[in-house]
Structure 1
Amino acid sequence: MEGDQPDRELYALLHLDPDASDEDIKRAYRQWAQVYHPDKHRTLQMQDIATQNFQRIREAYEILSDEKKRQVYDIYGMEGLKSGLELGPKLKTREEVRNEYEKLQARKVEQKLASHVLHSGSMVVYLSLVEAMRSMGMTTQIQAQISKKDTVLAGGNMFLRRNMGGGSMTGVLRHQYCPATSLEFMATLGLRSVLNWQITRQISSHSSGTLSLSYSLRSGHVTLGESWTRQIAENTTATLLLFLGPDPNQAGLVLGWQHKGTKNSISSEIKAGPAAAGISGQVTRQLSGKSKGKVSARLGSTGVELEIGGERSISDHSSAGMFCVIGLQGVSWKFRFTRGGQKFVVPLLLAARFDPVVALGALLLPSTLYVVLKKYLFKPYFLKRAEAKKLEQRKSTVTQVQESRANAEKAQDLLKNVAHRKVAKAEETGGLIIAKAIYGDLKARDGNVSGEDTPPTIDVTIPLQFLVDDSGQLKLHAGVKKAGLMGFCDPCPGQPKQLVVSYTLQGSQFKALVDDYEELTIPQEAHKLSSK
């Protein structure tokens, strides 16, 4: 996404690599000044156009030629400069720049109390199709940062089943003693009242350990807990937990393993103790950018259970999922909806004990229904909604795009003479000629969208021909948004953009297609079109 890319517009404006040296910056400024300096043009109209563009070039040069300003710009873009960092004390390193910027941002954040508080919770409602049995559970938690090193958490939970219920309240104080050590005190009051002390230490860059001591206010039992976490590979960690105490429900040994890949996540756990023992595992696969599937299984002294399902993001902060749970205790569906820090879970019991027919139907029915609904309802709906949102966004930015397009075309007018001279010279020598170059949302253009005053693309043939160097080559640097190049503009804000270039060399035809932030170097033999 565009928001994830660093600000490189000033580099694009001067046609520079982000790693350009001071000499490269000076050379580029002199080159553009020869084209856009107002004194280079005779007519009043051309002088006005040149003045506007020359101011942009001079501003870019003043920032990039100043070591301190350039450092701030490279890390935080124009926002960092506008925040006042360029007026602050002398900053020697990137870390000093980062700290100074974060102090400025913290002053703004402190004015909003809501930004300090993180609230999360979950609600679970149990329904049954076979009995009149209903139950409900709810948990909630609030987290607040009270100082740089101290965090407070407060939460509670409740559970109701028929005419019985219960709940508890929990308070946690966490203190960051040093960068490698944290201390935590927790108190829980309710059906299970417990006091817990915990210390966590980062032993090395790949391992950490935790020591905990808990005291039950009801039974008076004391439980000692120890855990070690070790990174055994780049994306793989192993965990060992040991709990010692007189309470058989608390004592035991747990050995866990987890691997997180680009698309797959795998975890397993072995548990052994006086009250229960078993093994469990889970596999999660990213099916698409918004959907993921999950399979988990549990085998132990308390029973056997298999859970299969999937989850899909329905917005930036919301997701919905459905899972089928099969075990000796019965068959059920579990619906889950997550919004921000809130989670709502509704398990629906289909059979009170294991039934192979019900289990098969519970597995096949949701997946079949999902495939049908996705093809004939969800996908058309979301495509239609995305198209409507895209059109609405274009309507809201039509004035901005028209102004940007007009400024880009004016900037191109000043490049025409030089570009035409380069074409004439290339025709004589068989050099590189940019026949046609289009930048923007090429898919929308190919979709033959009609009735629009502002097309989603712009012709950039002239500025690209101007950028062809004396050796007959053209290079657009990686990581630089092409809309910032002189003579370019953003014809479709918020939409993915590409650049397609058709060019000729020595009588042969070539064509290249690159994404917005992708590097382009021409000519290349790989771009050559086959002659038919």
Structure 2
Amino acid sequence: MAAALENELGLDNEDYYSLLNVRREATQDELKSSYRRLCMLYHPDKHRDPELKRQAEQLFTYVHQAYEVLSDPQSRAIYDIFGKKGLEVEGWEVVERKRTPAEIREEYERLQRERDERRLQQRTNPKEVANKRLNGTSEAVWDIKHHADLLNRKTHLLTSPLSQPHCVFNCTLMTTSIVRDTKTSHFTLALQLGVPHSYLMMSYQYKFQDEDQTKVKGSIKTGFFGTLVEYGAERKISRHSVVAATVSIGVPQGVSLKIRLNRASQTYLFPIHLTDQILPSAVFYATVGPLAIYLAVQKLIIMPYVRAQKEQELEKQKEVSASEIARRKQEAEAAVLLMQESVKRIIDAEESKMGLIILNAWYGKFVSDNSQKHESAKVIDVTVPLQCLVKDSKLILTEASKAGLPGFYDPCVGEEKSLKLLYQFRGAMHQVLSGDTEPLKIPKQCHRIDSEA
């Protein structure tokens, strides 16, 4: 939950591409060129003042860290998919380096699941944590024994992954099944012949593409034992918990209800036998009862609890973000001080050839609509940082949030921002307003304004 709030506030990850002012598709040469330029700007040895030297060391470390991540192919692939926090997940050091982005995503999700399971196991059953930590040894041994028992009794044959005939043979039984599993559905058709257990079974499951991973399913099974119809639903109620309810209607079994709760690796099953006969009232209560109870619990208990937790996390995150914003503001101001000498040299060089001079630059939320006059503008002066990025009478900003640029910070977290520039080129005045994540390249003829304006 805290991570989601950080995403909303935009404080979870520092944008390394924006810090180096390079494209997401930047080559190694582009990364190296930008890195060298920033190193020359922030190198601690260039500053004699102790405070400036300390600030330069800190900014130099940030730049070096960004370059190290983006210049390494594997680290860059992980960062592109999961951001800075993806690099902090335990286990990457043992992962093979030559992997595609899809394989990296799969490996990351596996490592995340293992970490979440370890944390949950510590809370639910701390005595077994020691056994679980030994690379899953206890689980692996059980799986090997379990599969060995199966192989002693049965022979499996699998074919196409999309439509899989699955045959099982032993002395008295033969089972054939066809399985089709897609992103939104799962279908199974199975036939078992044997004495005395012979049956034909067909089941279908539909998977909703929502946050709660809702699934509805139904099946029909008929054989010598009679006929059994089952239907039910499954839904995720928390990060590690899933609840499911299944209604069974059969002859001669009658009507029953099964409620299942999965929490991490633990499963709780509550079977309720309602009647030995098929009665409409029993079917009605078995269907409507769990749904009504779930909705009541969801509305009266779960939703208020989640809302209270979210508000509590939001308050905590606001306190954290306030200190984080203050830190970034301090870093931006320090970066501006470190840029002063370089900016003077750049301006002198540009003036000598009537090049690009940034006269005024503002970044943040601008209020121009009459309906928003009661709101105050939240902007910061970024003239010096942008002039420092001018090279050969050109300024190029990549397609990323400008809050990550050296000398910038976010003056209005969570709100829409823009960059407003007034610059001079070839003695003529130019003006442009650019969105926060829009790429910008100046000078341009279309930005020119007449002398009267």
Report the Cα offset of residue 17 of structure 1.
4.1
- Residue 297 (structure 1) aligned with residue 219 (structure 2): yes
- Aligned match of 2:249 in 316, 326, 331? 326
Report SS of the residue matched to 2:22.
Answer: coil
Unaligned 5+ runs, structure 1: 87-91, 119-142, 146-150, 155-171, 175-183, 187-195, 199-212, 215-223, 439-456, 515-519, 525-532
1:431–1:472 CA contact under 8 A, matched in 2: no
Report the Cα offset of residue 360 of structure 1.
2.5
Residue 271 of structure 1 is matched in structure 2 by 191
Unaligned 5+ runs, structure 2: 112-117, 119-128, 366-377, 423-428, 443-453
Residue 372 of structure 2 is matched in structure 1 by none
Structure 1 370/307 Cα, relative in aligned 2: closer, same or farther at 3 Å? same
Residue 397 of structure 2 is matched in structure 1 by 474
CA RMSD, Structure 1 to Structure 2 (Å):
5.2
Percent pairwise identity: 18
Report SS of the residue matched to 1:230.
Answer: coil
- Residue 378 (structure 1) aligned with residue 298 (structure 2): no
- Aligned match of 2:232 in 291, 308, 313? 308
Residue 360 of structure 1 is matched in structure 2 by 284
Report the Cα offset of residue 292 of structure 1.
0.8
Report SS of the residue matched to 2:247.
Answer: strand
Residue 176 of structure 2 is matched in structure 1 by 254
Residue 500 of structure 1 is matched in structure 2 by 417
Report the Cα offset of residue 42 of structure 1.
8.1
- Aligned match of 2:142 in 145, 153, 156? 153
Report the Cα offset of residue 271 of structure 1.
1.0
Structure 1 500/11 Cα, relative in aligned 2: closer, same or farther at 3 Å? same
CA–CA separation in structure 2 for the residues paired with 1:462 and 1:288? 45
Report the Cα offset of residue 346 of structure 1.
0.4
Summarize deviations over 1:301-325 as a string: whole Å, max 9, x none.
231212122322313x222333333
1:25–1:64 CA contact under 8 A, matched in 2: no
CA–CA separation in structure 2 for the residues paired with 1:269 and 1:299? 10
CA–CA separation in structure 2 for the residues paired with 1:412 and 1:15? 16
Q: Which structure is higher in RCO with an 8 Å CA cutoff and minimum separation 6?
A: 2
- Aligned match of 1:486 in 400, 406, 423? 406
CA–CA separation in structure 2 for the residues paired with 1:460 and 1:436? 7
AA aligned to 1:13 is L
1:432–1:523 CA contact under 8 A, matched in 2: no
Structure 1 511/458 Cα, relative in aligned 2: closer, same or farther at 3 Å? closer
2:356–2:390 CA contact under 8 A, matched in 1: no
Matches within 5 A, 1:280-295: 280-286=202-208, 288-295=210-217
Report SS of the residue matched to 1:152.
Answer: helix
Summarize deviations over 1:47-75 as a string: whole Å, max 9, x none.
543343235435655x479x7xx356446
Report the Cα offset of residue 488 of structure 1.
5.4
Summarize deviations over 1:71-112 as a string: whole Å, max 9, x none.
56446789989x9x99xxxxx9747xx9xxx9xx9xxx9x96
CA–CA separation in structure 2 for the residues paired with 1:272 and 1:244? 11
Report SS of the residue matched to 1:363.
Answer: helix
More strand by share: 1
Report SS of the residue matched to 2:211.
Answer: coil
Residue 29 of structure 1 is matched in structure 2 by 35
- Residue 436 (structure 1) aligned with residue 356 (structure 2): no
- Residue 57 (structure 1) aligned with residue 92 (structure 2): no
More helix by share: 2
